[in-house]
Structure 1
């Protein structure tokens, strides 16, 4: 019975890991891709606007 208790944690972790990988692969692209890309573009545009000084003191 010791071998069962020794194998359970790695098996549970492997199943969990496979599930996480499947979720990551399924959420790549598809219908949400355009929405995610737009959100990233908006964040990048805000970051670029924040970097540039608003006044022209140069």
Structure 2
């Protein structure tokens, strides 16, 4: 029975890992892809604008 207790944790972790990968693959694309891409583009544009803006009156 030692082999069962030795195999249970890797099997459980493998099943969990496969489930996580399936969720990631299923949530890619779809109806919300354009909305998610627009949100990421807005954040990147805001970060780029903040980096290029002058620091203040002493700049």
Asked if TM exceeds 0.5, the reply is: yes
Q: Structure 1: state its 5+ residue gaps.
A: none
Count of residues paired in the alignment: 55
Cα offset for 1:53? 2.3
Residue 48 (structure 1) aligned with residue 48 (structure 2): yes
2:39 matched to 1:39?
Answer: yes
Rounded Cα–Cα distance in structure 2 between residues aligned with 1:24 and 1:11 = 20
Aligned-partner SS, 1:29:
coil
Runs (4+) off by over 6 Å: none
Shift of 1:38: 0.7
Across the aligned residues of Structure 1 and Structure 2, the Cα RMSD in angstroms comes to 1.2
Provide the secondary structure at the position in 1 that maps to 2:28: coil
Normalising by structure 1, we get a TM-score of: 0.87
Q: Determine whether 1:10 maps to 2:16.
A: no
Displacement, 1:22? Answer: 0.1
